[in-house]
């Protein structure tokens, strides 16, 4: 039996699990909010925190879907075809990997 199933067998276990997920997901989301104004990938951290919260809370899943709709609208407004979006993302990933390999090879 998996740990999550085992702990959620009782009402108290379900409540404890939701509190645990709420604290972890809320902490990650708060760290992402701080990273929005500071250095770091704030949006990605906020989405990761919401993803953790969405495992137990429906409102967090709705927040992720709302964010996805906003991002899709913004991407559609650029006027680039879908293949161009994928190409830009792939190129950025490859450049990042090359940069990291060069940086850590010394």
* Tokens read off for 98: 């090359």
Q: How many distinct structural domains can be found in the chain?
A: 1
Please tell me the predicted confidence (pLDDT) of residue 53: 94
Domain membership of residue 84 (yes or no) is no
Q: What is the pTM of this model?
A: 0.65
pLDDT in tens, 9-19: 888 889 999 99
Domain membership of residue 102 (yes or no) is no
Domain membership of residue 22 (yes or no) is yes
Please tell me the predicted confidence (pLDDT) of residue 36: 82
Tokens 């404890």 sit on residue? 16
CA-based nearest residue to 36, from 25, 24, 49, 23: 49
Please tell me the predicted confidence (pLDDT) of residue 38: 77
Domain membership of residue 43 (yes or no) is yes
- Regions of the chain short of the pLDDT cut 50: none
Q: Which sign, positive or negative, has the C-alpha torsion 19, 41, 74, 84?
A: negative
Please tell me the predicted confidence (pLDDT) of residue 1: 62
Domain membership of residue 51 (yes or no) is yes
Domain membership of residue 21 (yes or no) is yes
Residue range of the domain that includes 8:
3-78
Domain membership of residue 57 (yes or no) is yes
Query: Which residues contact residue 52 at a Cβ distance below 8 angstroms, ignoring those fewer than 6 apart?
Result: 21, 24, 25, 28
pLDDT in tens, 75-93: 778 777 888 878 888 998 9
Query: Which residues contact residue 60 at a Cβ distance below 8 angstroms, ignoring those fewer than 6 apart?
Result: 25, 50, 51, 53, 54
Residues in the chain: 106
Domain membership of residue 103 (yes or no) is no
């Amino acid at each position: 039996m998996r740990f999550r199933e085992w702990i959620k067998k009782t009402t108290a276990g379900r409540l404890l699990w939701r509190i645990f997920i709420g604290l972890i997901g809320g902490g990650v989301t708060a760290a992402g909010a701080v990273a929005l104004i500071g250095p770091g990938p704030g949006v990605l951290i906020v989405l990761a925190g919401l993803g953790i919260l969405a495992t137990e809370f429906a409102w967090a899943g709705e927040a992720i879907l709302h964010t996805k709709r906003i991002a899709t609208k913004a991407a559609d407004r650029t006027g680039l075809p879908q293949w161009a979006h994928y190409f830009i993302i792939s190129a950025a990933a490859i450049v990042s990997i090359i940069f990291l390999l060069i940086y850590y090879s010394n």
